[in-house]
């Protein structure tokens, strides 16, 4: 894996080679990564994985024709062949009136923010194994835990560099660490599984193995002996670890590509109040040590913090340059891309602002409802917003969380759900999408 400076130089050199080969415009993305993962089960080492790789991709433009090619071989001969192949492919490609690089005037030219995304550490496999073993041991120590699906600890680093024929050439590096455990409680016909996981950019921010393991064990035991839930329209409360998925559906519908293709349930609702008054959903690509923080987007545009939803209203779409041209708008610095193909769009570190009520106050007036901790299956129509998911969690009775429930279905329409959504005040930043506990009244629940 190259250093950031080496990756920038390699990308810039490939741009120059493309220009010499006749490209009207070009961009190059380099991605290098290395990771180590340790899996243990029942106190024994089960698997050790080490992966390292690097790849470079070139988009070669001839007018409105373009071709994308990539290679994991970074030798001079391989990159020369890459440019030659891209030039030949671009000549045969169909014209696309919306293709092209991002507007030059919007590129990040200054130093950019320091998102502190790389701690530079490289823990040994021995250290990773010790963390995984301690995590599983803590989970198995919980009374009622009968078996283990294992615990894992991983560490990795990545280097990203982007260069364009507009003169942009920047790179950055990230580190990442993840700790998880999954265990089974009960026996015979009364068995339940659950898990806990934590992912961070800096190793020092990772939860203690004992805390992760204990949480996994307690969650599994709490799900034993599920009760039955009668079908009907009742309040559904989403735990933060699953409530983030609701915002994820919103973000997918907000991308410029979905709007341009008319495949979004948000079509025609840009000026409409989609959420209740006061609801704010914010995207912050500069959060220090954020899981999705970055100084520039996949096209070299400066990233910036922005309220995606303000006082319940959507403030605009998430756009790369191609979808922005198609919609007659400006790109928003949300372009994302892989090595091959054209960019798409997505948000970065997203959170829903907390409400004014505590979790207990949010539950207090619920006579009968469901507290959801796990969702199963897809069951979401991105065009209509119809929502139907398998779920498990706990019964809410007289404002208190009661016995567990399993194999239920919750259903509604995302527009109706958003309008009926009430957030609690217990927001924590632990994921790429963070939400507090969320209550939605009037959802349809079908019991087992």
pLDDT at residue 14 in the model: 98
Overall average pLDDT of the 418-438 stretch: 97
d(CA 110, CA 303): 12
Average pLDDT, the chain: 96
Reply yes or no on whether the pLDDT at 239 is more than 70.
yes
Overall average pLDDT of the 316-329 stretch: 96
pLDDT at residue 154 in the model: 98
User: pLDDT band for position 439 (50/70/90)?
Assistant: very high
pLDDT at residue 133 in the model: 98
Q: Could you report the per-residue pLDDT of 193-222, keeping only the tens digit for each?
A: 999 999 999 999 999 999 999 999 999 999
Q: Could you report the per-residue pLDDT of 292-319, keeping only the tens digit for each?
A: 999 999 999 999 999 999 999 999 999 9
Q: Which range is least confidently modeled, 103-112, 125-134, 220-229, 326-335?
A: 103-112
pLDDT at residue 72 in the model: 96
Residues contacting 224, CB < 8 A, separation 6+: 144, 185, 186, 190, 192, 404
pLDDT at residue 272 in the model: 86
Closest to 163 (Cα-Cα) out of 97, 98, 79, 255: 79
Overall average pLDDT of the 79-84 stretch: 97
Reply yes or no on whether the pLDDT at 448 is more than 80.
no
SS3 assignment for the chain: CCCHHHHHHHHHHHHHHHHHCCCCEEEEEEEEEEEEEEEEECCEEEEEEEEEEEEEEEEEEECCEEEEEEECCCCHHHHHHHHHHHHHHHHHCCCCCCCCCCCHHHECCCCCCCCCCCCCCCCCHHHHHHHHHHHHHHHHCCCCEEEEEEEEEEEEEEEEEEEECCCCEEEEEEEEEEEEEEEEEEECCEEEEEEEEEEECCHHHCCCHHHHHHHHHHHHHHCCCCECCCCEEEEEEECHHHHHHHHHHHHHHHEHHHHHCCCCCCCCCCCCECCCCCCCEEECCCCCCCCCCCCECCCCEECCCEEEEECCEECCCECCHHHHHHHCCCCCCCEECCCCCCCEECCCCEEECCCCECHHHHHCCCCEEEEEEEEECCCECCCCCEEEEEEEEEEEECCEEEEEEEEEEEEEEHHHHHHCEEEECCCCCCCCEECCCEEEEEEEEECC
Closest to 37 (Cα-Cα) out of 128, 135, 108: 128
pLDDT at residue 157 in the model: 97
pLDDT at residue 78 in the model: 97
pLDDT at residue 230 in the model: 85
d(CA 408, CA 390): 6
Q: In order of start, what are the domains of the chain with their CATH numbers?
A: 4-220 (3.30.2290.10), 226-448 (no CATH)
Q: Could you report the per-residue pLDDT of 107-161, keeping only the tens digit for each?
A: 998 878 999 999 999 999 999 999 999 999 999 999 999 999 999 999 999 999 9
């Amino acid at each position: 894996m190259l250093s950031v400076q080496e990756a920038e130089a390699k990308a810039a050199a490939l741009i120059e080679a493309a220009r010499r080969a006749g490209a009207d415009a070009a961009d190059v993305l380099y991605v290098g990564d290395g990771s180590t993962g340790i899996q243990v089960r029942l106190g024994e080492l089960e698997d050790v994985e080490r992966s390292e790789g690097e790849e470079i991709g070139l988009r070669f433009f001839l007018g409105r024709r373009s071709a994308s090619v990539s290679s994991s071989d970074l030798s001079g001969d391989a990159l020369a062949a890459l440019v030659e192949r891209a030039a030949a492919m671009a000549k045969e490609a169909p014209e696309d009136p919306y293709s092209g690089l991002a507007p030059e005037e919007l590129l990040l030219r200054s130093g950019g923010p320091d998102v502190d995304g790389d701690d530079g550490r490289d823990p040994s496999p021995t250290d990773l194994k010790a963390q995984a073993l301690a995590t599983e041991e803590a989970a198995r120590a919980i009374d009622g835990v009968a078996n283990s699906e294992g615990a894992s600890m991983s560490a990795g680093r990545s280097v990203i560099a982007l260069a364009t024929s507009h003169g942009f050439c920047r790179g950055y590096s990230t580190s990442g660490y993840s700790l998880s455990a999954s265990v089974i409680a009960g026996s015979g016909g009364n068995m339940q599984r659950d898990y806990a996981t934590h992912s961070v950019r800096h190793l020092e921010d990772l939860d203690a193995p004992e805390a992760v393991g204990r949480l996994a064990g307690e969650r599994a035991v709490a799900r034993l002996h599920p009760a039955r839930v009668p079908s009907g329209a009742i309040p559904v409360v989403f735990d933060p670890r699953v409530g983030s998925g609701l915002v994820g559906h919103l973000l997918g519908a907000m991308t410029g590509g979905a709007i341009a293709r008319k495949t979004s349930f948000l079509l025609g609702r840009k000026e409409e109040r989609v959420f209740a008054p006061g609801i704010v959903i914010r995207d912050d690509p500069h959060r220090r040590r954020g899981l999705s923080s970055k100084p520039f987007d996949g096209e070299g545009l400066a990233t910036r913090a922005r309220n995606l939803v303000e006082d319940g209203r959507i403030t605009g779409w998430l756009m790369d340059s191609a979808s922005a041209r198609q919609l007659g708008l400006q790109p928003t610095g949300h372009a994302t891309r892989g090595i091959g193909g054209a960019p798409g769009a997505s948000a970065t570190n997203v959170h829903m602002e907390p409400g004014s009520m505590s979790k207990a106050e949010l539950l207090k007036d619920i006579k009968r409802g469901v507290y959801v901790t796990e969702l199963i299956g897809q069951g979401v129509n991105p065009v209509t917003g119809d929502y139907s998911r398998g779920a498990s969690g706990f019964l809410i009775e007289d404002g208190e969380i009661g016995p567990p429930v399993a194999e239920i279905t919750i259903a509604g329409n995302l527009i109706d759900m958003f309008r009926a959504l009430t957030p609690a005040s217990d927001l924590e930043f632990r994921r790429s999408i963070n939400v507090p506990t969320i209550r939605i009244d009037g959802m349809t629940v079908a019991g087992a």
